[in-house]
Amino acid sequence: MVYSRAVVTVGRGGFPTSRHFVQERSVRIYVGNLSYQVTDDELRQAFEAYGQVASANVIMDKFSGQSKGFGFVEMPSRPEAEAAINSLNGKELRGRAMNVNEARPRPNSGGPGGGPRSGQSSRQY
């Protein structure tokens, strides 16, 4: 997510001379080793103690509907996100020590499909 905040430049006499918007990227945080009983709301509450939370999602298996034991939290402020990461990494939530760090960007897979089907060669004869 990208957030914008207004920046106003003040000139002589205290009057605004210009206004522009600065775009800031929210920080995406990976949270691993979660108990299977942790909900989105519980995850959000754990991080809200350190600042504003844009989203909190526990990843669920699409077939069984059971938690996969990890999730992601987005926080708009980098200083708040870093405080949360430093404080919550190794801290217990529902009896399990969380593994908390900044999420790595997803690798570009090149879109859906692509590549040969199982057992087929990609060579052209």
Is residue 55's pLDDT more than 80?
A: yes
Query: Architecture of 21-102 per CATH?
Result: 2-Layer Sandwich (3.30)
Instruction: Please write the tens of the pLDDT for every residue from 67-119.
Output: 999 999 999 999 999 999 999 999 999 999 999 999 998 787 655 655 555 55
Torsions phi, psi for 124 (to 5 deg) = -105, 130
Average pLDDT score over the chain: 84
39 or 6, greater pLDDT: 39
Is residue 62's pLDDT more than 80?
A: yes
Would you say 71 and 46 are in contact if contact means Cβ atoms under 8 Å apart?
no
Q: How far apart are CA 51 and CA 79, in angstroms?
A: 9
- Taking the CA atoms of 114, 61, 25 and 103 in sequence, report the sign of the dihedral they define: negative
Question: Quick one: which of 24, 31, 37 has its CA closest to 66?
Answer: 37
At 63 the pLDDT is: 96
At 51 the pLDDT is: 97
At 25 the pLDDT is: 83
Instruction: Please write the tens of the pLDDT for every residue from 17-29.
Output: 655 555 568 999 9
Residues 6+ apart with CB under 8 A from 46: 88, 93
